[in-house]
Amino acid sequence: MVTPICPFATLRLMEHIDVMRGRRILLGVTGSIACYKSVDLASKLTQAGAEVDVILTESATRFVSPLSFRSVTGRTVYTDMWDLSDHVRHVGLGETADLLLIAPATAHTIAKLAAGLADNLLTLTTLAARCPVLVAPAMDGGMWQHPATQANVTVLAERGVILAGPAEGRMASGMHGKGRMVEPDDLFGNARLLLSRQGPLHGRRVVVSAGGTREAIDPVRFITNRSSGKQGVAVAQAALDAGAAVTLIVTPGCEQWPFGATVIEVESAQDMAEAVLATIDGTDVLFMVAAVADFKPESAAERKIKKSDDSDEGLTLVMTRTTDILMAVKESREMSGYPRLVLGFAAETHNAADYGRDKLLRKGLDLIAVNDVTEAGAGFAGDTNRVLLLDSSGIVEAMPLQSKTGIAERLVYHITAALNDDRSSSD
């Protein structure tokens, strides 16, 4: 029986979050032209540190060779249930896996799984598996729409199998329709999300803001700042990896949203203030990583501002203050109690620790990550950062220069510890 129960051990509070490392992923590949994409998927999973065991059905071997998978995973590839070189292989493979991912899954294999058949090593192993099962259908659009296939996927979903796709687009037949296998990057994201489900922030709700706001001057111009959004996106990914449900509030230009986050796109400080205040109720943590404009043009021109050829006159913009989002959060939190914890950022060019401490107290933060954006390797552009993490009693950790991912993981580590303290003090 396919089961939704996730049996892998609850992950402890981790110094370093590495969702994939050492996890055992069984990749089942069935006979579809999308097989070639599964080689890429197996490679991505392996590069991320997972141990990937591949089972190919006989039809899959017609599209792609076991050697291709062996070459990228460095492990034995299984094809034959009658190869008796090890004892009860299907039980061994199924019971020790952290995740069974069947991609591509043909209409035929889906039908066999729904019926509980066990006529090849993959279907046999699926019956023996006690881990989450993720299935990525791939077939012709008409086959996908067929009531038989729809009934079969409904049965699988009711049993707790997670379905990824199929996607819409150009099919092997040359026609356009729904039936394409979801792309390997999305399947990787799905697998990462499933493997992090039992992490230390499991059951926690986290809101992260990222990027730099844009304040309109006219319909074609705006004022912004140098924030790339990378640090905020890294925090969102680290929180997801720790098992949290994450809402990411992002400005334009932030690329590569983490898979599995609920994303709210905003532009101005006002948009961001509204989005943050609308999402924090009932949440555990707000990471306010965004660089929010403090000033905006008093009014944005409705039409493009034109220069005059007859004069050298400049343009004077009158600026007004924007809402300080963290101050508004402080006020609402005093009444609602949410978010339970708030972590702010402080981008400084001098006296970083002093200004950071002042912001922590003024804005009622639990933690503040201070960085001196003038230091080499720290701040807005680039993939690295250096952060001084403070709470009301002083330095929590001076984080040396490292990747923004590394910084994000440390922040999530400290916030998890603080949440656990909070829980034990309220017990």
Of 125 and 371, which CB lies nearer to ligand CTP in the complex structure?
371
* Number of shown-chain residues binding ligand CTP (CB under 6 A): 15
The verdict on 248 binding ligand CTP (CB under 6 A) reads no
Instruction: Quote the least distance from Cβ 321 to ligand CTP, whole Å.
Output: 8
Question: Which one of 135, 254, 288, 399 is in contact with ligand CTP (CB under 6 A)?
Answer: 288
Q: Which is nearer to ligand CTP, 41 or 346 (CB)?
A: 346
Active-site residue, selected from the candidate residues 120, 152, 190, 225 = 225
Residue 294 lies near ligand CTP (rule: CB under 6 A): yes
Is-catalytic flag, 371? no
| 232 sits near ligand CTP (criterion: CB under 6 A) | no
Report the alpha-carbon angle 405-339-194, nearest 5: 50
Considering the complex, what minimum distance in angstroms separates the CB of residue 317 from ligand CTP? 18
C-alpha 80/C-alpha 119 separation (Å) is 11
Query: What letter represents residue 46's amino acid?
Result: T
Using CB under 6 A as the binding rule, the residues of this chain from 95 to 154 that contact ligand CTP are: none
Q: Which stretch binds ligand CTP (CB under 6 A): 167-175, 240-248, 341-349, 397-405?
A: 341-349
Cβ closest to ligand CTP, residue 103 vs residue 346:
346
Least spacing, CB of residue 414 vs ligand CTP, in Å: 16
Which residue among 106, 322, 371, 384 contacts ligand CTP (CB under 6 A)?
Answer: 322
CB 331 to ligand CTP: min, Å = 12
The residue among 34 and 326 lying less far from ligand CTP, judged by its C-beta, is 326
Q: How far is the CB of 324 from ligand CTP (least distance, A)?
A: 4
- Rank residues 173 and 392 by Cβ distance to ligand CTP and give the closer one: 392
Alpha carbon distance, N-terminus to C-terminus of the chain? 39
- Report the residue number, 163 or 291, with the smaller CB distance to ligand CTP: 291
Identified binder of ligand CTP from the candidate list 359, 386, 410, 414, rule CB under 6 A: 359
Is residue 389 a contact residue for ligand CTP (CB under 6 A)? no
- Asked if residue 292 binds ligand CTP (CB under 6 A), the reply is yes
Least Å distance between CB 382 and ligand CTP? 18
By annotation, the residues acting in catalysis are 225
Residues within the interface to ligand CTP (CB under 6 A)? 269, 288, 290-292, 294, 322, 324-326, 344-347, 359
